Amino acid sequence: MHSAITASAPAGSAWRGLLTQTRDIEITRIGAQGDGIGDGVFTPLTLPGERATVRIEQGRGEVEALLSASPDRVPPPCPHFGDCGGCALQHWADGPYLAWKRERVIEALSREQLETEVLPTFASPPGSRRRLALHARAGKGGAVVGFKARRSWKLVPIDVCVIADPRLVAALPALRALARPFLEHPKSAPTLHVTLTRTGLDIDVTGVERKSGGLSADARVRAAEAAQAGDFARVTMAGETLYGARQAVVTLGPAQVALPPGAFLQAVPAAEAAMAQFAVEAVSGAARIADLFCGVGTFTFRLAQVGTVLAADSAAPAIAALKAAAGAAPGLKAITAEARDLTRRPVLARELAKIDAVIFDPPRAGALEQAGEIARSAVSRVVGVSCNPATFARDARVLVDAGFRLERVLPVDQFLWSPHVELVGVFSR
């Protein structure tokens, strides 16, 4: 191993004694951010067991030369790999990559002294993402759209995305044309939140400068013209409709749901279906089910094929969409839906007195307050869905301390080649 240390200071600045090290290190593991770790140094785009010459600045490394590659290294399928800040693990073979995601769940549970059966990770396939958040910036002769670069605010323009549904990739030229009117103000930094629905693309645009008066009438007209040319279903700006040719409709189990602008939706239909099937099987036989943090009804409509459902979520537009879809969906048992902030006003234990099973699917912050009420209730069956293993484990600890047993957990790789992992856990008394 060699170690070369050089000192440098930013141009035009006072000397601050900043140090840059270059040395050979061995990567020992992958960190939570998808970075290889060797000698305590986070080094992106490496794998365990590899040796590399690494330039180290402020505790982070950048590979200058790969000295020995892991047998688990595979050619990354995306031409933007290494520049784009997404999909940081696409150079890792499927087997060890999915095993690492499962291990992340086990580690999160172990920090709360929880042990259970952790099933093999459900893998979302490439080309299956129906949602993208595309950043837009001014470029020569028009707009460019893409993703943020690694460790930078710079934009990496994309013309292909191997995780996205091919219909989203095919729409990139039309999305670039749509982005241009939103760049009217120099301080605007638009993000196009694009969702593929059954009736076409639904785009909600955020990041447009409003203090100076917002988008001009002329820019609004040009945005609508671009939307029409692209045959988009709807274009909104922070929820305000700018163009609407038809409702943005998605299929959730037996229901057809008209999405509110900017509504939450699972990113991959196959992952959604796997999580829903796992949850529905877990509550089989329950006559009365509570679906908490229900959104537009990802689980609600499937659960209503099993028993009656009490659905609650803080997003009033989502609840309105759920109610409208429930009225038209065939073969469902009764659904009662309520707009309710479940963090500030969780469903109380006494309100759960007539409930047989509960499903909760909170945001990343978890559902500590709601978990406490479930723990104090007489409910015998609970399913927890989470995009954050750490807060899931914290909430699971509350339930286990109250007499529940965590029976099994299904890790779900919904965000392919990223460090994120989702999960579904089943509890019983």
The set of catalytic residues is 387
CA 132/CA 194 separation, integer angstroms: 5
C-alpha dihedral (93, 99, 100, 101), degrees to nearest 10: 110
Cβ within 8 Å of residue 21, ≥6 positions away: 3, 4, 5, 6, 55, 56
- Cα end-to-end span (Å), the chain: 55
Give one word for 366, left, alpha or beta, with left for phi > 0 and alpha for psi -120 to 50.
left
CA 191/CA 170 separation, integer angstroms: 18
SS3 content of the chain, % helix, strand, coil (to 5): 25, 30, 45
- Beta strand 200-206 with 191-197 is antiparallel
Hey, what are 7's tokens?
Answer: 């000192």
* Paired strand residues for 358: 290, 382
CA 80/CA 425 separation, integer angstroms: 35
E strand map for 265-318: 288-292, 308-313
- Beta strand 381-386 with 405-413 is unpaired
CA 332/CA 156 separation, integer angstroms: 46
* Paired strand residues for 129: 164
Give the three-class secondary structure for 426.
strand
CA 114/CA 394 separation, integer angstroms: 10
- Beta strand 41-43 with 36-38 is antiparallel
CA 102/CA 5 separation, integer angstroms: 38
CA 425/CA 381 separation, integer angstroms: 11
> CB count, 10 Å around CB of 220?
19
On whether the CB atoms of residues 241 and 227 are closer than 8 A, the answer is no
- DSSP conformational letter for 255: E
CA 378/CA 357 separation, integer angstroms: 10
